[in-house]
Chains A and B, each alone.
Chain A
């Protein structure tokens, strides 16, 4: 079964320190992986995605993610955290459905990131 897991409900990091938000996946075939961010009282916003190619993907607001096929992981990283990065982060994986040409995006449960001043 296709699935995505975010093992940490909450991550706390001091401002200026590097941050990592973890994501692991289980997909048959080639994975298409995404990170979205949800700020308070807002909808989800796209951060970055891995389709193919370079394992290190760069996205919005200085975030990047590293695709690791052997560990089936797609951890989100940022070298220096800002207080404004505090939000809820969702990892997602896209996989094909039985109907031809149809795909589904499955989300992890989310990780709340708190950056402490």
Chain B
């Protein structure tokens, strides 16, 4: 089944404790991205990657890191989480050949709480 998976789905952590949220897609997509969803703000893009070893900042990259060592994986790293990073996070992917018109495929989301 074609899908985007994220782990963990739920995470409660404390300020400053490094964490990684994994994202994997099995559709051989080139383009992957991370969004955070906050009430009243919709989805905001954190980082995106157009291919292996190619990443770039989105609208709200502060406090986050990403890497793209393999085509299928795009982990999101919070080196020193803070309470303002409490949010619902979504990973998404698309074929990437026509980024302007591609359909995005979203993972199920990771609800992160930073105490």
Q: Which residues of A contact B (CB under 8 A)?
A: 9, 32, 34, 36, 41-46, 49, 51, 90, 94-96, 99, 101-105, 107-110
Q: Shortest beta-carbon distance, A77 to chain B, in Å? A: 20
What are some 5 contacts across the A-B interface (CB < 8 A)?
A: A34-B103, A44-B92, A102-B50, A105-B45, A107-B44
A34 CB to closest chain B CB (Å) equals 8
Are the C-beta atoms of A43 and B109 separated by less than 8 Å? yes
A-contact bits for B76-96, CB 8 A (1 contact / 0 none): 000000000000001010000
Q: Indicate if B108 sits at the interface (CB-CB under 8 A).
A: yes
Task: Assess whether B62 is interfacial by the CB under 8 Å rule.
Answer: no
Contact status B50-A46, CB under 8 Å: no
Query: Roughly how many angstroms separate A103 CA and B99 CA in the complex, as a whole number?
Result: 6
Q: How far is the CA of A36 from the CA of B50 in the complex (A)?
A: 22
Which residue in chain B gives the minimum CB-CB distance to A105? B104
* A contact residues around B90 at 8 Å (CB): 43-44
Q: Among B58, B92, B106, B109, which residue has its beta carbon within 8 angstroms of that of A104?
A: B58
| B interface size (C-beta, 8 A) | 24
A44 to B48, CA, bound (A): 17
Instruction: Find chain A residues with CB under 8 A from B101 CB.
Output: 32, 49, 51, 94
CA A28 to CA B43, docked complex, whole Å: 21
Cα distance, A101 to B41, chains bound together (Å): 27
Contacts of A94 in B (CB 8 A): 99-101
Contact of B108 among A42, A102, A104 (CB under 8 A): A42
Establish whether residues B104 and A101, one from each chain, have CB atoms under 8 Å apart when the complex forms. Answer: no
B47 to chain A, nearest CB (A): 12
Q: Nearest 5 A-B pairs (CB), nearest first?
A: A43-B106, A109-B42, A103-B99, A107-B43, A44-B106
Please give, as numbers and ranges, the residues of chain A lying within 8 Å of B48 by CB-CB distance. Answer: 104
Give the residues from 5 to 54 in chain B that come closer than 8 angstroms, CB to CB, to chain A. 35, 40-45, 48, 50
**Contact assessment for B56 and A99 in the assembled complex, using a CB-CB cutoff below 8 Å:** yes
Bound complex: CA of A108 vs CA of B41, how far in Å?
A: 8
Chain B residue contacts of A51, Cβ below 8 A: 101
B100 near A96 (CB under 8 angstroms)? yes
Q: Which residues of A contact B75 (CB under 8 A)?
A: none
